[in-house]
A and B are shown apart, each in its own frame.
Chain A
Amino acid sequence: RKEVEQDPGPFNVPEGATVAFNCTYSNSASQSFFWYRQDCRKEPKLLMSVYSSGNEDGRFTAQLNRASQYISLLIRDSKLSDSATYLCVVKQNGTSYGKLTFGQGTILTVHP
């Protein structure tokens, strides 16, 4: 089983739609969680960290369920510019230097 698993998609949604991505992780000792965004042929960039209480940044909402080892990202009112690959990222326990494990990514295409 992969340490971090995501539905690779692709998700094709119209502008204005709400779309949700899920991610599961296998190591129950994982301590930090993130969503990164990667545009086509570009480098990954941090979209948002995921906190235990859930957090929101504008149209983006991230949730963490430690009991189910599950992370989600919700995008409301999708824009064309949201088209990208979304990477679920987990930091393992005991790694103060920042060793991250990446999911394979979920592809989102927002169309007019």
Chain B
Amino acid sequence: NAGVTQTPKFQVLKTGQSMTLQCAQDMNHNSMYWYRQDPGMGLRLIYYSASEGTTDKGEVPNGYNVSRLNKREFSLRLESAAPSQTSVYFCASSNTGLSEEQFFGPGTRLTVL
């Protein structure tokens, strides 16, 4: 099993450009998440999908959109990138339950110039 995979690993954008970050999991998990990690801030939840067909905003959703394409895939889109969106983006997945572990992908390092 590959676990959680993310593409691309690195990306440099100019302000105003758009892009989609891809995430897929092969663990048959119901829930998927997108986080961003900035120095001194910890991981912050952008959007999550509790189950296939549903998505909800997290702590920092502005400037992002998501699509839960199917049970395996959950994409994050930046419609008009801004320098404030320079960050490391992690996708994660988990089963539904009280104390379930979240499994993270390797991350995408995004720089917006």
Contacts and interface: CB of A to CB of B under 8 A. Distances in A.
Interface of A: 4, 8, 31-32, 34, 42-46, 49, 87, 91, 96-100, 102-105
A43 B102 contact: no
A97 B96 contact: yes
Contact of B43 (A31, A46, A97, A102): A102
B42 A103 contact: yes
Contact of B104 (A8, A45, A98): A45
B106 interface: yes
| Size bin of chain B's contact surface | 20 to 34
Given A4-B42, A32-B98, 18 more contacts: A32-B99, A42-B106, A43-B104, A43-B105, A43-B106, A44-B90, A44-B104, A45-B104, A49-B99, A87-B42, A87-B43, A91-B99, A96-B50, A97-B50, A98-B33, A98-B97, A99-B58, A100-B102
A46 B90 CA distance: 15
Nearest to B105: A43
Contacts of B107: 42-43
A73 B106 CA distance: 25
B90 A98 contact: no
8 contacts: A4-B42, A42-B106, A42-B107, A97-B50, A97-B96, A99-B48, A100-B45, A100-B102
B96 A104 contact: no
A91 B102 CA distance: 11
B75 interface: no
A8 B106 CA distance: 23
B96 A96 contact: yes
Contacts of B41: 104
Nearest to B107: A43
Given A97-B31, A97-B48, A97-B50, A46 B42 contact: no
